[in-house]
Structure 1
């Protein structure tokens, strides 16, 4: 099944918005999609830093392996979003992108000033039981989207796979001590960076259709960004039980 049927409604929720705003497709995919830019644009607070170490420690182990964690509380991944904080987050995202690609940063600044991109994702996410104010949902969307980008894929993952990945994310986050004390600001900053990266990767893949070089460039950017978060996307495959190591 092709992506437009289901999952791309999440990843590409803002695609028509971005294209209406004339977001350019570049062969080198600089700015937010340049190699290593994911880590630079993410507010690497205590949750992200420890989560990255946790992912690196697990390495090629089965991502679904049971962790010795605190009991999962689904509501603990939620936060109360602030529009002022969102504006600051997006401004920071643009500013950190500017060093790599000033023109791309200008385009992105114009886009985020014209409308609330994150809010536009609310309805598409809700159709799949996800929320814009949930850190586990944001990480799930980004992880699946980044993995797909490394394969140049816009195929639709099963709902079972997406749900299983979310369980993996929640178990891992629950094993991070800093998560228990994370405030709304930290959760929102990380969530919105993840959503933006997923959105930009999805848009990049859509714009690169028919251009193998650009598609590969997006995949490299996704892989590099994921490595910055402790994930080797080439070493895993997506199944209905979540991500599993490649045999």
Structure 2
């Protein structure tokens, strides 16, 4: 059964040139627009969707839109970490790093062209980083969280009627955040003193999305309220 950490190749790529200031780039979102606010809904951990709640979370990726999204992120990053922004710009220019995530994500049942799948990757990575955890997550757990995220999006109605461009912008923002978090986790393995900095950055970023990572626990059935 495939385990978590599907992005190890990209983590090495990012870690090679990223400075400690990368934690400042772990922000609520990478675009101007509605924030993902699933925490607003009391039934986040509900096991069944509400009747009639359906929404398409798939989108058709557009290469031009992707270049625009990544360029926007690089420009936003320059205000907090110019050197890291330059490094990311070089990475983005040299390869389609998001498209290359398709295969490793697929090994744990996720796709790059689905908003709930991108949210799942970010959600699990963020929760683990906030707790200083660096463990594997099995496919069953990943799928449970994905289904949970899809239900929450459907119930929130935040993406009902959203265009492919809007969904791509949101998903790619989450994918880049997941890459940055995984990069930070790898750096903290080599330098444990960085762990608390990463945990704080991730927790604050999640709060900006109205997600309190400390209020939940990850189980094989998805996230549940922490006791």
TM-score surpassing 0.5? yes
The equivalent residue for 2:178 is 198
- Note if contact 1:70-1:174 (Cα within 8 Å) is conserved in structure 2: no
Pair 1:14-2:3 in alignment: no
Q: Post-superposition shift, 1:136?
A: 0.7
Task: Write the deviation string for residues 27-50 of structure 1: whole angstroms up to 9, x where unpaired.
Answer: xxx24x227x412x422434xx3x
Task: Write the deviation string for residues 123-159 of structure 1: whole angstroms up to 9, x where unpaired.
Answer: 1112222111111100000000000111222201122
Q: Post-superposition shift, 1:184?
A: 0.5
The change in CA–CA distance for 1:144 and 1:224 in structure 2 (over 3 A counts) is same
Which 5+ residue runs of structure 1 have no aligned equivalent? none
Aligned ranges for residues 56-205 of structure 1 at < 5 Å? 56-58=40-42, 63-64=45-46, 66=48, 68=50, 70-72=52-54, 76-205=56-185
- Note if contact 1:38-1:228 (Cα within 8 Å) is conserved in structure 2: yes
Which 5+ residue runs of structure 2 have no aligned equivalent? none
Deviates more, 1:96-105 or 1:136-145: 96-105
The equivalent residue for 1:34 is 24
Deviates more, 1:176-185 or 1:136-145: 176-185
- Write the distance in 1 (CA, Å) between the matches of 2:181 and 2:153: 23
- Write the distance in 1 (CA, Å) between the matches of 2:210 and 2:51: 19
Q: How many corresponding residue pairs?
A: 227
Higher helix share: 1
Q: What is the root-mean-square deviation of aligned Cα atoms in Å?
A: 2.2
SS at match of 1:100: coil
Deviates more, 1:201-210 or 1:230-239: 201-210
Aligned ranges for residues 222-233 of structure 1 at < 5 Å? 222-233=202-213
The equivalent residue for 2:31 is 43
